[in-house]
């Protein structure tokens, strides 16, 4: 089985199955297609599958033309039918791993996916989990299910963990150029996994086990979460002292060694940084360990929207206004600049907290024309157009996500009050408050 897989990877005749066609799965599918593989894309959302088969992208930074060409050339087949897993030689799982309301790992998407695939697994399959999770998930959850279906992992089928490392809309790093970590359940699993990813990624980094690969991904994201927590706390201290924290960060970044700049904001967003650290804190409790440093950073980052609300409240009070009854415009509801991804966006938390305090809240985000239906957040809103007349209507404008598309001079000229959480304005202006 191993020899056959290695052969069809090298001549690129293997059929690749990718489960989950979101911000991770879809770019990966296009990369496999780009080098000559055929891909079956699985998703439980029929609307996504229909869109792709019509040659239309639903992710801003992924061009529709690339999808249309793949469909036209019979290199891509989207489906909601998991029976087609039999036709694939590789099954790569790229589904969400969120937290429950109690900040515990929610593996329902991963386990639901593997359960849906089990009836269609066959000898010769390579299964790769890319979803971020706690160390032990691949060994403890996927391995027994696959072997329970009658396959011997490492002989009949192969199982690896290879964490995704996508950075949406970052032109400097794409799927091909980002090194890929891979860990296998057995040495043969690792060899097969590395052989697969070497076809599409410039550098594959093998590690000794799936647990090491799982921990690697968590360390990467915990590193960012802790440093962002540190700089957010520094921002609060610097603000109290009348010091511009961004000036300080830029000055410190001139040191050519021993310092990496991180910048503050209104909180953490995205599919990784606000979530992944808590996967490790949860697993650590199984070993009677308390990850105090990680949890403290989480507390600081989670509290940042409240600190911003405090700045809004104080700025409005100085103008003899209160949050209740004020019209507030939130600029940018994606979790980071120049993308349409709203997962865990702190902008949405700000909107909810402002609404709860009685503000009339609207938003502007050209990347998100209509506020989408989210599981936990509901707003019946569309993005407003930024005109001088529209800007003058609001009591406060909050720069929550600093998209390049915004005309910051226009905003500053016509807004009564701007609360800037992203450093869009780096000089003192009478109607701008740094937050």
- Please confirm, yes or no, whether 94 is among the known catalytic residues: no
| Catalytic residue of the set 94, 182, 272, 364 | 272
Q: Shortest CA distance to 346 belongs to which of 308, 294, 396?
A: 308
Please list the active-site residues: 272
């Amino acid at each position: 089985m191993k020899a056959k897989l290695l052969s069809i990877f090298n001549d690129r005749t293997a059929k690749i199955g990718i489960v989950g066609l979101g911000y991770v799965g879809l770019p990966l599918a296009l990369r496999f297609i780009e080098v000559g593989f055929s891909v079956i894309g699985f998703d439980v959302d029929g609307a996504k599958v229909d869109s792709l088969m019509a040659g239309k992208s639903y992710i801003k930074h992924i061009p529709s033309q690339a999808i249309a060409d793949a469909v036209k050339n019979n290199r891509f087949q989207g489906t909601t039918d998991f029976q087609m897993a039999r036709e694939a030689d590789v099954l790569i799982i790229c589904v969400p791993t969120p937290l429950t309301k109690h900040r515990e790992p929610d593996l329902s998407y991963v386990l639901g996916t593997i359960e849906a695939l089990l009836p269609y697994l066959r000898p010769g399959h390579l299964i790769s989990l890319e979803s971020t999770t706690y160390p032990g998930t691949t060994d403890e959850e996927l391995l027994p299910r696959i072997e329970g279906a009658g396959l011997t992992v490492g002989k009949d089928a192969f199982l690896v963990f290879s964490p995704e490392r996508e950075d949406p809309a970052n032109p400097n790093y794409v799927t091909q150029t980002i090194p890929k970590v891979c860990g296998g359940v057995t040495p043969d699993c690792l060899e097969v996994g590395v052989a697969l990813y070497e076809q599409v990624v410039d550098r594959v980094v093998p590690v000794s086990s799936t647990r090491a690969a799982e921990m690697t991904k968590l360390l990467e994201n915990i590193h960012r979460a802790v440093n962002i927590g540190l700089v957010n706390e520094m921002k609060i201290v610097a603000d109290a002292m009348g010091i511009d924290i961004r000036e300080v960060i830029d000055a410190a970044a001139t040191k050519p060694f021993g310092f990496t700049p991180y910048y503050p904001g209104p909180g953490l967003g995205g599919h990784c940084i606000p979530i992944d650290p808590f996967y490790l804190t949860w697993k650590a409790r199984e070993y009677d360990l308390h990850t105090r440093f990680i949890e403290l950073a989480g507390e600081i980052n989670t509290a940042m929207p409240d600190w911003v609300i405090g700045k809004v409240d104080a700025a409005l009070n100085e103008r003899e206004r209160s949050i209740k009854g004020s019209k507030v415009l939130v600029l940018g509801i994606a979790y980071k600049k120049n993308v349409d991804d709203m997962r865990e966006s702190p902008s949405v938390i700000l909107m909810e907290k402002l609404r709860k305090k009685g503000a009339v809240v609207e938003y502007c985000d050209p990347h998100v024309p209509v506020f989408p239906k989210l599981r936990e957040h509901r707003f019946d809103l569309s993005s407003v157009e930024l005109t001088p007349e529209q800007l003058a209507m609001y009591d406060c404008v909050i720069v929550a996500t600093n998209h390049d598309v915004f005309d910051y001079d226009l905003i500053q000229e016509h807004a009564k009050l701007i609360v800037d959480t992203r450093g869009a304005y780096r000089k003192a202006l009478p109607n701008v408050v740094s937050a």
